[in-house]
Amino acid sequence: MSGKCCNTMLVDDTLIEQAYALHLRLLQAVLVPALQYGCQVWGMHSPRVAAANRARLDLQRLYDYYLRTICGLLPSTPHRMLFAELGLLPLQLLWWQQTLRF
């Protein structure tokens, strides 16, 4: 009986890992391109436009929120540690990459 229980736990762990990986792939395939849309046009530096800077900060917070939600982490988790553990780049750097490729 105990062997059956352990097998069930292994299957559950595998399913959890697959779901985690699927969520990250969906984030990279859907949310990141949506957040990068038009970054080549609106540029990365507009210090005189406070609304644009506020919008960029809101988009970064949204990206951080989804990453923390997928990983099941508290909002107090530092975003640098989050990106380091996941091997992802912050949205600001992704914008710069996209802008420089343009």
Tokens of 29: 């395939």
d(CA 61, CA 97): 19
Per-residue pLDDT at 96 = 79
Residue owning tokens 């919008």: 55
In this predicted model, what pLDDT tens digit does every residue of 32-59 receive, in sequence order? 888 777 776 666 565 556 767 787 888 8
In this predicted model, what pLDDT tens digit does every residue of 26-35 receive, in sequence order? 888 887 888 7
DSSP state letter for 73: -
pLDDT over 50 at 2, yes or no = no
Select the more confidently predicted residue: 83 or 9. Answer: 83
